[in-house]
Amino acid sequence: MKAFFSNSKQALKVTLLMFVLCGLLYPFAVTGMAQVLFNHEANGSLIEMDGKMIGSDKLGQAFTSPEFFWGRVSAINYNVYTKEDLVPNAKGETNYNGVSSGTFNYAPSNPELKKRMEADIETFLKANPGVQREQIPADLVTASGSGLDPHISVESAKIQIKRIAQASSLSEDEVNDIVKANTDSRTFNVFGEDKVNVLSANLDIYKKMKGK
């Protein structure tokens, strides 16, 4: 019995010690370091404009206006809802499904995948009449795993420059400079590919248009 109480006491001490170390000291230390060293990232990489929070540079948003860059296809439409979606119908139901992430998860053999891609290709070609379907970069017609990808490839941005210049009254050189300014290079110049942040680029376009 004495050995039992001795072992129990030792186990309790270890439990309390680990609780303090792992449950209190470690989280507070990591949170404190993050706030000091990576304050912007630790708080969601939020973007403000005119005193209002308009998004995060880590989360994509849906853009459909011709004067802005279009992002990747999203199975959840980047969690965009209208006021009408929040109004309940006669059964008390709404079109609001909450905030989520995910993809279509279609198999390559699924006819719905081809149907969806063809519809997206036709929409893009209609908005960009000088572009041939074989010129459309793959990432513009394929969905990301999360449905919240904030980036497009540099090629996907450049292929939209002509349309944006015509719709925004900016010159193609101005739009191209915006692409360069919002291009994130490969991590350590090795991992991944160069990519353009859609929200940041569109904010620069908006500011240029507003200043004209």
Tell me the per-residue pLDDT of 181-210, one tens digit each, with 9 for 90 and over. 999 998 888 888 999 999 999 999 999 998
Q: What is the pTM of this model?
A: 0.81
Helix (H, G, I), strand (E, B) or coil at 23: helix
Specify the higher pLDDT residue, 1 or 159. Answer: 159
Pair 78, 147: CB distance under 8 Å: yes
Pair 147, 101: CB distance under 8 Å: yes
* Crossing angle of helices 161-168 and 172-181, rounded to 10°: 120
Instruction: Report the range of poorest mean pLDDT among 18-27, 72-81, 139-148.
Output: 72-81
**Which residue is associated with the tokens 């240029």?**
208
Pair 206, 165: CB distance under 8 Å: no
What is the DSSP secondary structure assignment for residue 109, as one 8-state letter?
T
Pair 43, 180: CB distance under 8 Å: no
Pair 201, 179: CB distance under 8 Å: yes
The backbone torsions φ and ψ at residue 184, rounded to the nearest 5 degrees and listed phi first, read -95, 125
**Which residue is associated with the tokens 């904010």?**
203
Pair 166, 158: CB distance under 8 Å: no
pLDDT tens profile 80-130: 777 777 777 877 777 766 677 888 888 889 999 999 999 999 999 999 999
Taken in order 3, 8, 11, 12, the sign of the CA dihedral is: negative
Pair 70, 140: CB distance under 8 Å: yes
Distance CA 125, CA 111 (A): 21
Distance CA 57, CA 150 (A): 7
What is the DSSP secondary structure assignment for residue 185, as one 8-state letter?
P
